[in-house]
Structure 1
């Protein structure tokens, strides 16, 4: 990268769960390692420090990359308002699309393989859930990509919309069982483990005690590639990744 490269500000949502901040720091370290010569800083929308507004005020030109998986209220309304409020005259602040705008189905498949996904497992993709219908549609599109990659049905549940008596979760599990799934495998479309992932884990454990639970995406190479590509595009350097995220060849699946 050129010596005058703008600072990269990674902005995460924030959480009271310490695991979230620890994961966000690991992602930041992986991105910094992949981008020598670029000043990389982590900031938060809420609940953790520093806030993105504080980080913008002490930065020169910078590129803001949201560590979010779908375009919703935070990326469309909240973050642009913060940038407008805290940007100083003469400084260029560019917000990129969310990291979920890049291919991440392979990353989800890798986490499932690491957890021990078998041929007969039915996959349940879990995301936060949003008041923005477009954000939820994005998650469903990602489920279709994962289904195509794994050659099996993938159902979607939202951690904030499990329904009364967890009806939505129960219905999704029943649909997977109806397709012949011998076991349910949970695929968290989350950056980090936390209270919301635990809510789904606990509910699923009551329904399917033998369920397989994959890890969150964290600092997966495709997450890092999404950040570096978004930064490079915004800074005018062109795509930076090696294209790995576009490979649709899952590895490590077990015939069990």
Structure 2
């Protein structure tokens, strides 16, 4: 069976690598016997060239939510530079498992949000990193729309921690103007770091704006993410004789 090579972005914040390691542990727990290796695009070790050379057979699975620049260009380019022709799985989003992970994190921060009646009075900010790729931002907005439709939130607004707006305070203001009784912020991010910290600061009102009633944590090593990584691995492994899921 091919190994699963998890390709993460990397960060100077040590919490990032710790979160990736915890997620890898979750993948291994769900599928004992599967070899799982990790490589990073930047900031952390090991890098892709250090890992691919020791794998006889593997499927690369990007730890990325959207098909933005990293997925379209950085991952394929890094694999080519390492002399690798590994099949590459699709990115994580969109998926119902991501919505379930978002639900999990919000329920941990506000247990009553598991109630349909409470959700119907609650507006949520889906706070993403942001991208210069319009298709990636459109994909995030589609996730927000599906999350509202399938889970019964009063409203879901998208905000970004980088690139163009709106920012979290803007989205919270829009929710309150729409008349929601309660507000929540849910980071659409995989691991702690600079952007999640920026979202948390904007969400709690420490930046001077009125904060949200509930602020969830990042997706992190949620079991739904481990399941989703294995789904992407399996799909790419089945498709490997024809073509990789990501190309340059």
Q: What TM-score, normalized to structure 1?
A: 0.83
Corresponding residue of 2:159: 157
2:209 to 201, 204, 207: 207
| Cα offset, 1:17, TM superposition | 0.9
Partner of 1:60: 56
CA distances 1:169-203 after superposition (whole Å, capped 9, x unpaired): 33312210022223321101111122111112212
The number of residues matched between the two structures is 228
Match of 1:100, SS?
A: coil
TM-superposed CA distance for 1:129, in Å, is 0.7
TM-score w.r.t. the length of structure 2 is 0.85
| Residue of 231, 234, 237 corresponding to 1:232 | 234
Aligned partner of residue 207 in structure 1, secondary structure = coil
Q: What's the offset of the Cα at 1:101?
A: 3.7
Aligned match of 2:174 = 175
Deviation at 1:114, TM superposition (A): 1.4
Q: CA offsets, 1:16-43, max 9 Å, x none?
A: 1111111100000100111222110111
**Post-superposition CA distance 1:95-153 (Å, at most 9, x none):** 11112243211211121111115423320001111111111111111101111133221
Structure 1 unaligned residues grouped into runs of 5+? 238-256
CA distance in 2, matches of 1:60, 1:213: 43
Does the Cα contact within 8 Å between 2:191 and 2:219 map onto a contact in 1? yes
Q: Secondary structure at the match of 1:16?
A: coil
**Aligned equivalents of 1:186, 1:28: Cα separation in 2:** 26
1:112 to 88, 94, 106: 106
State the alpha-carbon separation in 2 of the partners of residues 232 and 224 from structure 1: 12
In structure 2, runs of 5+ residues without a counterpart are: 240-248
